[in-house]
Structure 1
Amino acid sequence: MSTVEDDRSSQSSSVSNSSASTKSLDTQTTDTCKKKDEIQIIVRPVDATPILVRDLIPMRVWVASIVGMTERAAYYSSIVMIQNYVQNDVTDALRPGILGLGQAKATQIQFAFVGVMSVTPVAGACIADSRLGRHKTMLVTFPFFIIGLLVLCILSFNTDTARSGGVGALLMCLLLLAIGSGGIKANVNAFIGDQYVPSTVEAFREHNGTDYEPDHALTLQHIYSVYYWLINIGSLAGIGTTLLEAQIGFGFAFLVPLILITLGFILFVAYSRSFVKRGPAKGNLTHAFAYASHNVKQSWSKRVTKKSNQLSTPSNYDAQFSRDMKTTWKLCRIFATFTFAWLCWDQGGNNFISQAGQMHTSGIPNDMFYFLNPILVIVLLPIFEKWIYPFLRSRGAKLDPITRMLIGHVVLTASMVYAAVLQHIIYSKGPCYEYPRFCEEVSRSREPNAVSAFMQVPLYLLQSVAEIFSQIAAIEYAFGGAPENMKSIMQAIMSSFGSVGSLLGVAMAPASKDPWMVYVYSSLAGGMAVTAACFWLFFVRCRSVDMISEASSNVEVVVVQDLKEV
C-alpha cells in the first residue's frame, strides 16, 4: 500500500475553527485537514466512508501458519497408512501390510483413535487456557508427536519387531500421536490469531485521495483462509506416503511425516522469541465449570419454563464473566450444527471412495479421487479471496462468519443431493445395476457399471466450496467470538463436534451398502437441509455481533497516517 499523499490540505487555523466548520459539512464535499508530523485530522461527512482493506500482517503469523501446516501434513500422511498397516499381512502381494489382523480389527482401531482424538484436544486446550498458555502447551506436546512417529518408523523398518510388538506397540504409538496432535491442534488456530496485533492506525490515504481503513475482521478472514489453504497443501503429502507404502515400504513412508513434524518443531523453537505469547487465565476454567454446574442445577430444580432455560449469574461472579459464559454457550450451539456437517464431509474418506470404485476410473485408483477435495480447495481459495469475495462485498453482501457458515451448510446440502442423484445413475446402468461389481454372471462379476468416475468432480467441487465458506468462517468465529481467556478451549470444542460427527458414521456404517446407498445419501441431504434451516432460524441474528456499528452523528473524525507494521 502506498504512503500518505505528499500534498496535504492547508492547515486549519485552530481546532475550534475546525469544530465550528462541521455545521456546514452537510453541503460540503471537500475535507478540512490539519497537517502535523505526517498525521492528518480529517473531518468529513459520514457518507464519505473509507474502503475497508486488510491490515499489514507480520511475518510471525505466516511462520505460525506453516508450523500448523506441518502438523496437519504429518497427521494426515501418517493416519492414511494405518488401515493397511493393521489389516494386511506382510506377505500380501497386492496390498502389503504389517500386522495382518483383518479389516474388522483395523476399522475398530481407527474408530478408537478417532474417539481418543475427540478428547485430547479438549485436554490440550484446558492445559493451555488454565496452566501453561498456548505457546508452552504446543512446545510440550510436539515431542509426543515426534516420538510416536519415530517409534512407528523404527518398527516399520523391522517387520519382525513390529509383529512381535503387535497391537500393543501400535496403540502406544497412536496414543503418543493423539497426545501430540491434540495438544497442537487445540491451540494452533488461536495461536495464529494471537500473532496478529491490529494496527493502531484508523485510516490512511492513497496518492489518488481515496481513504482506506484497515479492518480487523477482514484481516482475520484472510489469515485463516491462507492457513486453510496451507493445510490442504499439506494434506497432499498423503499421496506421497501411500505411493511410498506400496512401492518401497512402510518404513520410508513413515519417514515422510516424521521429517515434516520435526521441521515444524525446529521452526517453532527457532522463531519462539518473535512470537506473541498469551499467558493462561488461572482458575478461569474452574469458574466456568462451576458456573455451568450452577445453571444445570438451577434448570433441574425448576420445571421447564422459558425463564429457566436462560443462563443466570451466580452472585459470586461478576457481570463480565457472565457475559463471557453466555457468549461461549452461544458459540457451542453454533458449532453443534457442524456435527452433521462433518458426517457429510467424512463421506469423502469412505463412501465416496467406494462410489468411485463402482464406476470406470480410466485406470486411476479409486481412492485417489479423494484428493480432488484438497486440490480443488487449493485452486478455489485464491479465486474466492481475489475475486469472488471482493465482488460480493462490492454488491453490498454482508459476508460475516455467520453468513458464510449458512452458505456453506446450504452448499453442503446440495453436494449430498448430487451424491444421491449420482448413485441413482450408477444403479440405473449395467452391467450390474444395483449391485455394482457383484453380478450374478461370474464372467462380469468384477466389472464396474457403465458410468465415468469423473462424474464425481461436481460432487467434490460442491464439498470444497462448502468447506471454503463454512470451515474457515468457523475457525475465524471461534477465535474472534470467544472470550480472550477461552480461545483454545473454544477451538477444541469446535474440533470435538467434528469428532462426534465422525463417530456418527459408525452408527450409519451397517446401512452403507448396496442397494441402499441412494437412501443413505438422501437421508444425509435431508438431515443437512434441516441443519441449515435450523442454523438460519436460530443463529442468523448473531451476525449483528460482528457488524461494524453505525456512526451516531453526521460527522466523524478519523486519524490518517502512514500504515506501519506493528
Structure 2
Amino acid sequence: MSFSDKLSTHEAGELYPLKDEELHPEHVEDYLREGERWATEEDMGTLRRVADRIPPAAIFIVLTELAERFTYYGITGPFQNYIQNGYKTGPRPGAINGGQHMATGLGNFFQFWCYLTPIFGAIVADQWLGKFKTVLLFSIIYIIGDLILTLTSIPASIRHGGALPGMIIAMITIGMGTGGIKANVSPMVAEQYGRYRPFVRKLKNGSEVVVDRELTVQSIFNWFYWAVNVGGLSAIATTEIEANVDFWPAYLLPTLMFVFCVLVFWLGRKRYVITKPNGSIVIKAYGTITTALRNRRKAKAENQLLIGEDGKKANWMDYAKPSNNFCDASVQWDDKFVDELRIAIRSCKIFLCYPIFWLCYGQLSNNLISQSGQMNTGSVPNDIMQNIDPLCIIILIPVFDWLIYPGFRRCGMELRPVARITIGFLVAALSMAYAAIIQHVIYTKGPYYKNAGDEGYGFNDISAGIQVPAYILMAISEIFASVTGLEYAYKRAPESMKSIIMSIFLLTNAGGSILAFAFNPISSNPHMVENYAIVSGLMGAFAILFVICFRHYDRREVQETKDNTVFEKN
C-alpha cells in the first residue's frame, strides 16, 4: 500500500502537497481516535497547543534510565571524599587520601570519559547492533565496572593499596558502559511516540486543543530528565552509608540496582519501537564532507561554482550531491543524505557554548562538595549537599511542564529552544557567582579561615545551609539548558543520525571536563574564590555570545516546522 493509500484510510479531504520522502516512515502509522481530527493551519493559529500522553513503551525506557542514573550517581556521590580523604583518619570519610587536587582531577577525568564514549556507543548501534542490543551489551560492561569498584573498596583492599588502581579500572569500565547506554536511551525514548501529524482533540469540557508532536517530545524529555534526577537521589543513600557504615556497601547498593535496571529494560522489549542499524553514519558523513570540500575547490579553480535558484552561490555541501555531477557513480550517498547532513551540521553549531555550561555543572560534583566540607554540616555528611540539585529538579520539572511553559504559550510568548538555553546559561552564571560569594564568606570565618577542609584541619564556623541557593539556581539552569539541549539534539537530527547527534551533544560535557582540567591549579584553597568567579564570568560571556550567534535559529525552526507539516485544508 502506498503512502497516500494508507493516509486515506484515516482521513478525508485534500492535503497540502509534501513529498513522501520528506516524511518520517512512521508518518504512515498516524491515526485518529474517537473525538480527534487532523489539524488545519487555522487550528494551529487559533487553538491551544498541548502535549500528548507519554506512550507505555517510553515509560519502560524512562524507568530504565532512572535505574541507571541511580547507579551512576550512587557510585559517584562518594567519589570526592573517597579520593580526597584518608581511610578513617579524619572527620570526613575517605579511602585514598589523594587530596582535593587528585579528587577533582579524577572526577573530571571520569566525567570526560563518560561523555566521550557515547560516540563509540552510537557507532556500534548505527553500524551493527541497533539501539536495543547496544544498550544491553554495554549494560553488561557497566555491571563489571560496578563489581570492580565494590570489591576494591572493601577494607582489606583499601589498607593494601587496592583502592586507587581499582577505582581507575572501574572508572574506565563504567565509563565505557555509560557511553553505550547514554547515546541510545534518550533518542530511543522519543522514538516510542509515533504520531507525527498535529491533530485536534476534543476535551471533556467540550473545548478543542491541538495535540502537537513538538510539545510532546519536549514533555517526554522533561520527564526523562525528571527520572534522571529521581535516580540521582541515590547519592543521599550512598553518602549516608559511606559516612555511617563503609564504602563497599555504599557501592554495592547501586550495583544491585543496575541489575534491576537491565531487567526492566529487557521486560519492555516486546513493546518497543526498535529501529534497525543502517550502517555507520560517521564513515559516510566523513566521505561526504571531504568530497564536498574537494569538489568545491575544484569547481572554484575551474570557475564552475554552482548557483542556487535564488541567484546566490550554492551551499558548499551541495558539491557532494550526485545530482550535480561533481561526484562519480561509486559514492555511497544520495542527495537526501547530503541535505540531512547539512541540517545536522547546522544544528550542531548550537552546542558550541555548552562546554562552559558543563564546566559550571561539574562544580556540583567536586568543588562544591569540598566547599561544604569547609562548613558545618551538622549530623549529615558533607557530600549529601549535592542532592539538593536533583531534589529541586524533581520538584520544578512538573511546575515547568504543567504551568510555566503552558503559561508562556497562553500569553503568546512561547519560549523557543534558543531562548530557553540562553536563560539557562545566564542562571548557571548566577549560580557560580553565588558560589564565589559563599567561598569569600568561608575564608573570612574562623577558626581555620583559608585552610578549612584541608588535611589536618576541620571546618569553619558557618552553616553549609548557605549553599542551597547555588544548587537551586543550577537546577533551574539545567531545566532550561540541559533538557532543551537533549530535546534539540533529538528533534533537529535527521532520522538516520539520531544516535550520533545525541552523542555529539553529550560530547560537549566531555569538553567541559577538559576545560575543568585547566582550572585544577586553582581548584583548592586558597584560590577557590577565583575559581568560581572566573567560571561565572565565562558562562555569562558565552551566554551573550550564544544569543548573538543563534538568535535567528528560533525563527528558522518555526518556519521549517510549518513548511514540513501536513495539514488538512479547510
Give the structure 2 partner of residue 374 of structure 1.
390
Change (3 A) 1:297 1:522: farther
Give the counterpart letter for 1:340 in structure 2.
Answer: I
Q: Deviations over 1:94-148 (max 9, x none)?
A: 5565566666655554444334323321100111122221111112111111122
Of 539-548 and 370-379, more deviation after overlay is shown by 539-548
Aligned to 1:78: 75
Partner of 1:5: none
Matched, 1:480 2:477: no
1:337 aligns with 2:353: yes
Q: Which residue of 2 is the match for residue 536 of structure 1?
A: 547
Q: State the match for 2:330 in structure 1.
A: none
Tell me, yes or no, if the aligned pair for 2:109 and 2:513 is still in contact at 8 Å: no
1:399 corresponding residue in structure 2:
415
Aligned to 1:410: 426
SS in 1 for 2:199: coil
- The one-letter code sitting in structure 2 at the alignment partner of 1:402 is V
The 3 A distance-change label for structure 1 pair 453 and 203 is: same
1:245 aligned partner? 242
Letter in 1 for 2:481: S
Aligned-partner residue type, residue 502 of structure 1: S
2:260 matched to 1:263? yes
Deviation per residue, 1:312-364 (Å, 9 max, x gap): 53244533222222222223221121100111111222332343344454554
CA–CA separation in structure 1 for the residues paired with 2:34 and 2:398: 38
Whole-angstrom CA distance in 2 between matches of 1:499 and 1:235: 19
Over aligned residues, Cα RMSD in angstroms?
Answer: 3.7
Partner of 1:66 in structure 2? 63
> Is 1:57 the equivalent of 2:57?
no
More displaced 10-residue stretch of structure 1: 141-150 or 478-487: 141-150
User: Per the alignment, do residues 517 and 101 of structure 1 end up closer, same or farther by CA in structure 2, a change over 3 Å counting?
Assistant: closer
Q: In the TM superposition, what are the counterparts of 1:30-429 in structure 2 within 5 Å?
A: 49-85=46-82, 90=87, 92=89, 94-95=91-92, 109-157=106-154, 159-160=156-157, 163=160, 167-198=164-195, 202-294=199-291, 311-314=317-320, 315-316=326-327, 317-362=333-378, 364-427=380-443, 429=444
Work out the CA distance in 2 between the residues paired with 1:47 and 1:498.
36
Look up the SS of the partner of 2:355 in the other structure.
helix
For residues 494-549 of structure 1, what are the alpha-carbon distances to aligned partners after superposition, in whole Å with 9 as ceiling and x for unaligned?
Answer: 11111110221111121234554443333222211221112111112111343267
Are residues 56 and 100 of structure 1, via their aligned partners in 2, closer, same or farther at CA, if it must alter by over 3 Å?
closer
Higher mean C-alpha deviation, range 83-92 or range 267-276: 83-92
Deviation, structure 1 residue 65: 0.6
Kept after mapping to 2: 8 A contact 1:55/1:198: no
Answer yes or no: is the 8 Å Cα contact 1:434–1:514 preserved in 2: no
CA deviation vs aligned residue, 1:409-441 (integer Å, no higher than 9, x gap) = 1222222333334444445x44479736499xx
Say if 2:448 and 2:460, in contact at 8 Å, map to a contact too: no
Moved more, 224-233 or 326-335: 326-335
State how far apart, in whole Å, the 2-side matches of 1:248 and 1:433 are.
28
2:272 corresponds to which letter in structure 1? F
Q: 2:450 aligns with which of 435, 441, 457?
A: 435
Q: What is the alpha-carbon distance in structure 2 between the residues aligned to residue 357 and residue 97 of structure 1?
A: 12
Aligned partners of 2:359 and 2:513 also within 8 Å = yes
**Structure 2 residue ranges without an equivalent (≥5):** 1-11, 15-32, 302-311, 321-325, 328-332
CA separation of 1:166 and 1:202: change in aligned 2, threshold 3 A: closer
Q: Give the partner amino acid of 1:489.
A: I
Tell me if the contact between 2:123 and 2:281 (Cα under 8 Å) persists in the aligned partners: no
Q: Does 1:522 align with 2:529?
A: no
Rounded to whole Å, the distance in 1 between the matches of 2:40 and 2:549 is 40
Alpha-carbon distance in 1 for matches of 2:82, 2:437 = 35
Stretches of structure 1 that go unaligned for 5 or more consecutive residues are 1-13, 17-35, 560-566
- Contact 2:418 2:547 (C-alpha < 8 Å) held by counterparts: no
Range that drifts further, 201-210 or 532-541:
201-210
- Aligned residue identity for 1:243: E
Which residue is 1:11 aligned to?
none
Shift of 1:211: 1.9
TM-aligned CA distance change 1:50 to 1:527, over 3 Å: same
CA contact (8 A) 1:46 1:551 kept: no
Partner of 1:505: 516
Flag the structure with larger Rg.
Answer: 1
Query: Match of 1:327, SS?
Result: helix
Percent identity of equivalent pairs: 31
Using a 3 Å threshold, how does the CA distance of structure 1 residues 307 and 522 change in structure 2: closer, same or farther?
farther
Change (3 A) 1:113 1:93: same
